[in-house]
Amino acid sequence: MRVIRTSSSSGTRNHVHASWITRLLLAATALLLACSIRPLFGQVDLTQLQDQSTPRVSTVSKNQLLAPDKALRAMERARKYVLAQRMELALKEVNRAIDIAPHYGTAKVLLGGIHLYTQNDDAAAKSFQEALDDDPALGAAYFGMAMILVHQKRFQAALPILDHAEGLMPGVWLVRFAESWTNLELGNTETALKQAEIAERIARNAEERSGTSYLRASVCIYLKDSDHAREYLSETVARDPGGQYAALAKRQLEGLQPLLVASR
């Protein structure tokens, strides 16, 4: 095991840390969007219809199914605007849905996701809490709450909320990713690795498998195991060469390369 001189690569790590936080927030918004739009399809099983990048959501609550058609149509328009990154118009449609159905919890989840995306933590927290008041079964609202704490680097406080979100959304890869990384930030490397193993088992596409390799590489970097870190970073790139985790891994590899040479 070669030792990584962390002080020499602190600038690279800080940059990568900021990048992964941004990546996680963007992914969280996508998850919240998917969870919010799911009620449009009622209780139909979408496992063979949905895109592989769409997270699986385990339940559809009575609250979601009771939303009026006008509110559902406003949410569909909001979804299209979010995908087009036209957040002001998306915000208008989400608020329209809430005006029509004041207790439409999933609309408030999407509202919180938009605020999370724009890094308005206070507004996001308010929206997620209101969603939970309307529908305590909304796992995505718990996940959103946890992401606010992660964004604020309040990792210990985020863990129990992530655990609750996991119980409501057991098959969602991103929740496991967030749990693993949050434990790593707290120095709980064994738990971080266990969560990464679970994430590996439920990963369904190249991006998620690449993200899992990046998790493992990050644990190795924390443990100063440069040999295995380099292997997992290379695997991250190989699994999804054009992906965002690969971009993070390439930056880490650039920082590790001179350290590996110096340690020989």
Please state the three-class secondary structure of the chain as a single string.
CCCCCHHHHHHHHHHHHHHHHHHHHHHHHHHHHHHHHHHHHCCCCCCCCCCCCCCCCCCCCHHHHCCCHHHHHHHHHHHHHHHCCCHHHHHHHHHHHHHHCCCCHHHHHHHHHHHHHCCCHHHHHHHHHHHHHHCCCCHHHHHHHHHHHHHCCCHHHHHHHHHHHHHHCCCCHHHHHHHHHHHHHCCCHHHHHHHHHHHHHHCCCHHHHHHHHHHHHHHHHHCCCHHHHHHHHHHHHHHCCCCHHHHHHHHHHHHHHHHHHHHC
When pLDDT is cut at 50, 70 and 90, the band that residue 1 belongs to is very low
Question: Are the beta carbons of 25 and 147 closer than 8 angstroms?
Answer: yes
Confidence at residue 64, expressed as pLDDT on a 0 to 100 scale? 55
User: pLDDT tens digit string along 60-116?
Assistant: 455 555 678 899 899 889 888 887 888 899 999 999 999 999 998 889 988 998 888
Instruction: Give the confidence band of 231 by pLDDT, cuts at 50, 70, 90.
Output: very high
Mean pLDDT over residues 225-229, rounded?
92
Tell me which amino acid residue 162 is.
L
Asked whether residue 193 carries a pLDDT value surpassing 90, the answer given is: yes
What would the mean pLDDT of 207-236 be, rounded to a whole number? 94
Model pLDDT, residue 189 = 96
- Residue 256 or residue 25, greater confidence: 256
Domains of the chain: 28-42+60-169 (1.25.40.10), 171-264 (1.25.40)
pLDDT mean across residues, the chain: 79
For the cut 90, the answer to whether the pLDDT of residue 211 exceeds it is yes
Say what the pLDDT of residue 119 is: 83
